[in-house]
Amino acid sequence: MLMDRMDAKYAFRIEMLELLLEQMKPTYQVLEVNGHRISRYESVYFDTNDFELFHKHHNERANRYKIRFRKYVESDLSFFEIKFKNNKGRTIKNRIKQAATEGTIANEAEKFLQKKTCFSARDLEPKLGVDFYRITFVNRFRPERVTFDLQLTFKNNGVSQTMNNLVIAETKQERSGRSEFVRLMKQHHIREGSLSKYCYGISCLNEGIKNNNFKPDIKRFNKLLNDTTTST
């Protein structure tokens, strides 16, 4: 499942999706989960009270974490997941099967957290809910996956924002190398970005939080969205 990998992120409007799907056919095949080609994901991200994990990403620090519970709805599976970005640019994901427990990290998840990070459960609190639909593609010829995330909804403290027409694409490879999808992104003049869904959501729902380094990506995302963002 490419748990130790090199990632690259891209964003575009949903109107491009049909064309990209057609152009990807010779190299990629869609992954089906229990007969579904589009899967729903529900995530809860954790951070410290002062957003240490968010700020490490913002300040481009290496050796940083993302910590979350994620439910894979169609599979009816839930995991506690820890993503680690090391100083060589690799993303390493570790996880154990466990559902979220009332917004806290407990039981086996707490032990797993202490084993894999320098944090304890009391250091962290839920900061953001992220729901979305995902289409996953597998390269027919080499170890590579490409994911398209659609209809992102960010939630916190009774406030939510849904990004109706934005698609976040990500390619995941064992090592940086030739990728037909990356070639397609260059062909369509879609440049790579670094803003994660977690950091974008935190920036959207937390006024006043420092996000200067993210502003070019946020501006680009908002330009793609135009007036398609809805709030509740």
* Residue 38 confidence (pLDDT) above 60: yes
Containing domain of residue 178, as a range?
4-231
| Tokens 């996000």, residue located | 211
State residue 225's pLDDT score: 77
Q: Which one of 88-92, 171-175, 181-185 scores highest in mean pLDDT? A: 181-185
How many structural domains comprise the chain? 1
The token pair that represents 178 in the structure block? 């030739």
| Tokens 């992102």, residue located | 152
Confidence grade of residue 227 (pLDDT, cut at 50, 70, 90)? low
The token pair that represents 130 in the structure block? 């992220």
CATH number of domain containing 120 = 2.40.320.10
Q: Nearest-CA neighbor of 6 among 65, 109, 102, 93?
A: 93
* Residue 3 confidence (pLDDT) above 70: no
pLDDT single digits (tens) 121-136: 999 999 999 999 999 9
The β-bridge partners of 93 are 83
State residue 229's pLDDT score: 52
Query: Considering Cα of 122, then 124, then 126, then 132, what sign does the dihedral take?
Result: negative
User: Phi/psi of residue 43, each to 5°?
Assistant: -125, 150
Reported as type and span, the H/E element at residue 222 is: helix 215-225
